[in-house]
Amino acid sequence: MTTTTAAPPGGRAARAAAPSARATGPSTSGRRRLAPWGFLAPAIVLFVLFLALPIGYALYLSFRTEKVSGLGLGSGSRTEVWAGLSNYAAALGDPEFLASVGRVALYGVIVVPTMLGLALLFALLLDSRRARARTFSRTSIFLPYAVPAVISSLLWGFLYLPGVSPFYDLFERFGWDVPSLFDGDLVMFAVANIAVWGGTGFNMIVIYTALKSVPSELYEAAELDGASQVAVALRIKIPIVTPSIIMTAVFSMIATLQVFAEPTTLRPLSNAISTTWTPLMKVYRDAFTRGDLYSAAATSVIIALATFVLSFGFLRLVQSRAFASEK
């Protein structure tokens, strides 16, 4: 009598499937690990080509300079040599650069508080229950942001010119002697007005979006306690949207340090705006008018570092105060 032993259920099938599982398992997991990098590859390539490499090349140029031999004529008379920190020392000691930094600082003191104050005010008004025509008002306030800076500067520039502006005709009819905003120090307010007009809408949308995410139960509880609309805005709405206000403040400071299009567009209309009115205008003049790429690169690196330090320092200051208030 022959006795047969039954194989355990699924034993052969498991042994047969094991090699195929081992063969396909690592490759499948490898593809899964590489899949995210495939999606990120276009962004990484664009970042390297159009941001990382230009930044690295600017840093390289900032430590170089051009040495001229003889009269500077002929091949080999101009050679690129190592300059160390001399370009940075020359940029930081340049009176034109220091004057442009002072103008941008004054420009920021005017623009940033005014723009953020108006943005917060408009956002609170639109979020009020008594507000009417919210869609039209929101679109009207945001619309200037969609206008390119060059076009808005041209539009406001012709409104500033006494010869073509309709406002100065009205001033003459009423007998008012109003000076031109292109004269002397008033040009600062002319440029600042364009920035406020164009940037308020964007900041308002950011703050208004944060207000819409606040639960309505907070407002209802405050109203039941007898709080007015002003008290609700001061004690509930503004503290809740403070992170959005801080974010828009950082963006506004970065944009202030990089102001270029508005004064450059207005410069042919006013003698009060020089080619070095802002730091970026000085970089443009050095690079494309004087052909001094090395000095322009050093100045641009200084501007980038100042932007980073100012933004990071502002965020650290806000965080330290918030931490102190929580204690």
- pLDDT for 81 beyond 70: yes
* Token representation of residue 17: 């499937």
Q: Output the average pLDDT for the chain.
A: 85
Largest CA distance in the chain: 130
Fold of the domain built from segment(s) 86-326: MetI-like fold (1.10.3720)
Pairwise pLDDT comparison (287 vs 79), residue with the higher score: 287
Report pTM: 0.83
pLDDT in tens, 21-49: 454 555 677 778 888 888 899 999 999 99
Say how far apart CA 114 and CA 195 lie, in whole Å.
10
**Average confidence (pLDDT) over 56-63:** 93
Say how far apart CA 186 and CA 182 lie, in whole Å.
6
What is the share, in percent, of the chain residues with pLDDT greater than 70? Answer: 87
Say what the pLDDT of residue 317 is. 81
Confidence of residue 311 (pLDDT cuts 50, 70, 90): confident
Q: Of 237, 255, 246, whose CA–CA distance to 316 is shortest?
A: 246
* Token representation of residue 252: 């506004």
Q: How far is CA 172 from the centre of its chain?
A: 40
Say how far apart CA 266 and CA 28 lie, in whole Å.
60
- pLDDT for 124 beyond 60: yes
Say what the pLDDT of residue 207 is. 95
**Average confidence (pLDDT) over 262-280:** 93
pLDDT in tens, 5-22: 555 555 554 454 444 445
pLDDT in tens, 159-213: 998 888 888 888 888 888 888 888 888 899 999 999 999 999 999 999 999 998 8
Sort residue 176 into left (φ over 0), alpha (ψ -120 to 50) or beta.
beta
Say what the pLDDT of residue 277 is. 95
Boundaries of every domain in the chain: 42-84, 86-326
